[in-house]
Structure 1
Amino acid sequence: MSVMELPRMPAAGPLYRRAALSMVPGLGGRRRAGELPDTELAVRGVTVDRAHLAAYDRVCGFRLGDVLPTTYPHIMVFPLALRLMTAPDFPFPMVGLVHLANRITVTRPVRAGETLDFTVRAEDLRPHDRGRQVDVVATATCDGAEVWRGVSTYLSKEPTGAGGERRGAGDRPAPPAASAHWRVEPRIGTDYARVSGDHNPIHTSRIGARLLGFPRPIAHGMWSKARCLAALEGRLPDAHTVDVTFKLPLPLPSTVAFSAARTAPDEGGSWRFALHAARSGKPHLSGTVV
């Protein structure tokens, strides 16, 4: 795999325009649907904007501090991932992709004063019962040592003929007892878009959400993950892996129930957590920290 080193993080605006144009017949070019790009993108010498970090902390519920939240490097590297996913050699149009899961590993606390080198690449194109899925793998290194890794799994919905059984509400397991209830207001969509750079209209616009099949905007999955981790702040080890599966979309506004429990010491003492609709019990997210 070749490495393409960029002089700086790309600007998100032109990349979103490219993503929108790719949906227009004749303007998206021919995609190699069965292949992944054979290029890793890299940007070196990235520093933290402390004002931006503070804004992110406020939107997601983290305390202000010098150590980066586990999810913050995902925000720092997002423009590079956007560049990868809007390129003509990425197998799917970015608009319409479904974020299925996200796994983040930190090897030690990363401080706001450190300088980071980021890379992004696509891996493991594989079938899914509703289409095909791919992993977008991002890393952050400091002084040559990897300190953070994020793996986001995306689904491209395609006719497969496989169908698959849909679980009815009566078959859904009862949600765990709630540790807290949160009211998620509509502004979370626009506030998180502002700090994350992810301005997908499905999160910020009622019209945009309706065009993609939702009656109203839905929360960003990575906001939901960050908000759950903020609730566990101060109780996680310095080195850990947070693995999350995104379930049903979280419509805005909503009241959600957060639950978290620690496993027994003989099971490693890890955390299990989840986010459900407070009234119906519909699952929005489930995750573990080990």
Structure 2
Amino acid sequence: MTVNWLDLDTPPHLTALYAHAASKRKITGDTLPDKGLRCWVAVDAKPLEAFREVCDLPASSLLPPTYPHILAFGLQMQLLTDQAFPFPLLGLIHLSNQIRVLRPMGSVSQLRIGVYAHNLQKHPKGATFDVITRVDDLIGPLWEAQSTLLCKGVDLPGEAHQPATPVAGGMTELTRWYAAKDIGRRYAKVSGDYNPIHLSTASAKLFGLPTAIAHGLWLEARTLAALSSHLPAANVEISVDFKKPVRLPAEVILQSSAGGSSGDFQVNGHPDLVHMVGRWRPLS
């Protein structure tokens, strides 16, 4: 895919982007624009420390593997609320996330972040597409991610194909923790993601949910915090598939295989709910 890059001087302003998101409620097309957005973003100590606290991440000289998503959020928002983008942002469902840490993410103060969307595919419930995020430091490529999102109600030609989630074995319970009722609001403050479905029972009910649900990327970050001694710091691909949402408040249980260059994990709830399944593998 050829991406037509637009380079921005400063990161987008989220307040205006939320206004755009709230005003667009209809599907306006069935093709993705070929535009990508890029911008240099500063890595500041105070927001990073706040992110570590909310996700229970240990102190480290390296950036957490999910933190570039926080730095990229404004660019992703601007991409998905652009007039040329065919789907409304509110209502998109995050199905899976894949992160590739190419090199150790230490001693970085400025990062160039680029985002674009591609790979529109028919799905039994509508259509999926991927948001690609690429991060460079002053040396070169550092980190990449692919987030697959579902838009319900899109009618594409052809047959839908839904890949099966790999089944892992050999896992035992590693730990469990309590996802507090206010974790959605706390994570929103550090991430900028104020989607109403995460903030309170009242705002979630406006979108047909009985209670607020945890951010998927918070659940992933909190899980990787618990797995920090299991995973390599770099040259690793971490993939997760989001299953049943975590309805707040709730206790969640992390199962994992042993630490090493590759492994599998699963986050469960009560009763017998599977919230997220994941794996880590060396980069090929």
Match for residue 167 of structure 1?
A: none
* Structure 1 counterpart of 2:19: 17
1:207 correspondence with 2:202: yes
For residues 147 and 107 of structure 2, what CA distance do their matches in structure 1 show? 23
User: Residues 235-282 of structure 1, C-alpha deviation per residue, up to 9 Å, x if partnerless?
Assistant: 32222111000001100000111111138xxxx8411011111x3111
For residues 240-279 of structure 1, the aligned pairs below 5 Å read 240-262=236-258, 269-277=261-269, 279=270
Corresponding residue SS for 1:20: helix
2:185: which partner in 1?
190
Q: Residues 169-180 of structure 1 correspond to what in structure 2 (within 5 A)?
A: 177-180=172-175
**TM-score when normalising by structure 1:** 0.87
Counterpart contact for 1:262–1:269, Cα < 8 Å: no
- For structure 1, which segment, 219-228 or 110-119, has the greater mean C-alpha deviation from structure 2 after superposition? 110-119
- Tell me what 2:271 maps to: 280
Q: Bigger CA drift: 62-71 or 108-117? A: 108-117
The equivalent position to 1:34 in structure 2, one of 30, 33, 37, is 30
Aligned mates of 1:56, 1:225 — CA distance in 2: 13
Q: How many equivalent pairs are there?
A: 272
Give the aligned partner of residue 5 of structure 2: 3
Name the stretch that deviates more: 143-152 or 218-227.
Answer: 143-152
1:230 and 2:225 aligned: yes
Q: Are the aligned partners of 2:171 and 2:255 in contact in 1 as well (CA < 8 Å)? A: yes
Q: How many Å separate the matches in 2 of 1:235 and 1:40?
A: 35
Q: Kindly indicate whether the alpha-carbon contact (under 8 Å) linking 1:248 and 1:283 is maintained by their aligned counterparts in 2.
A: yes
Per-residue deviation, 1:93: 0.4
- TM-superposed CA distance for 1:174, in Å, is 11
Q: 2:136 aligns to what?
A: 141
Query: Among the aligned pairs, what percent are the same residue?
Result: 36
Structure 2 distance, partners of 1:128, 1:150, is 21
Aligned to 2:164: none
Q: Which runs of 4+ in 1 moved over 6 A?
A: 159-164
Partner of 1:125: 120
Report the residue type matching 1:262 in the other structure.
A
Equivalent residues of 1:133, 1:155 under 8 A apart: yes
Normalising by structure 2, what TM-score?
0.89
Q: Using the TM superposition, give the Cα deviation of residue 160 of structure 1 relative to its aligned residue in structure 2, in angstroms.
A: 6.2
Distance 2:88 2:5 in 1: 22
Within-5 A mapping of 1:85-104: 85-104=80-99
Work out the CA distance in 2 between the residues paired with 1:250 and 1:272: 20
The amino acid of 1:6's aligned partner reads L
User: How far apart are residue 11 of structure 1 and its match?
Assistant: 1.3
